């Protein structure tokens, strides 16, 4: 296992540059090499545009990129109901609690 990890670290440290055209034409072979731990820098007109690296399943499980609509809706239902009247009342309470009499209303603070 340690040898496999070391090989993957070395393979990703020494990236192979491939052009966008090479990726398009040899995608199957390149993807197999990525599965084996090799990393690639994809270039367009000689300029690096992307890194092609092996998928880290452990990291993907930790951080989701998509939240299901049902889960999002359930979270929104748990939020407090902020109707206009409640919001305006809280603003009036805050305004009464804060003393800003020494601040110029429309001028600068200099």
59 and 70 in contact (C-beta within 8 Å)? no
Q: Which domain holds residue 11?
A: 2-62
Residue with tokens 């809706």: 73
Q: How many domains does the chain have?
A: 1
pLDDT tens figures, 3-41: 544 444 444 555 789 999 999 999 999 999 999 989 999
Q: What is the pLDDT of residue 55?
A: 84
CATH number at residue 57: 3.40.1620
18 and 42 in contact (C-beta within 8 Å)? yes
Instruction: Give pTM, 2 decimals.
Output: 0.44
Q: Is residue 105 part of a domain?
A: no
Cα–Cα distance measured from residue 35 to residue 56, given in angstroms and rounded to the nearest whole number: 11
Cα–Cα distance measured from residue 43 to residue 23, given in angstroms and rounded to the nearest whole number: 9
Q: What is the pLDDT of residue 107?
A: 65
Q: Is residue 90 part of a domain?
A: no
Q: Is residue 85 part of a domain?
A: no
pLDDT for residue 81 is more than 90: no
Q: Is residue 52 part of a domain?
A: yes
Nearest to 52 by CA among 32, 82, 78, 74: 32
- Name the DSSP class of 15: P
Q: Is residue 38 part of a domain?
A: yes
pLDDT tens figures, 39-77: 999 999 999 999 998 887 666 556 666 788 898 888 888
């Amino acid at each position: 296992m340690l040898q496999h990890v070391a090989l993957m670290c070395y393979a990703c440290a020494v990236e192979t540059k491939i052009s966008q055209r090479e990726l398009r034409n040899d995608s199957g072979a390149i993807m197999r090499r990525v599965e084996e731990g090799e990393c690639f820098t994809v270039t367009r007109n000689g300029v690096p545009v992307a890194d092609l690296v092996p998928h880290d399943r452990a990291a993907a499980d930790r951080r989701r990129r998509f939240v299901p609509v049902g889960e999002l809706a359930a979270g929104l239902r748990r939020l407090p109901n902020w109707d206009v009247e409640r919001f305006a009342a809280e603003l009036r309470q805050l305004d009464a609690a804060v003393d800003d009499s020494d601040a110029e209303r429309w001028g600068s603070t200099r």
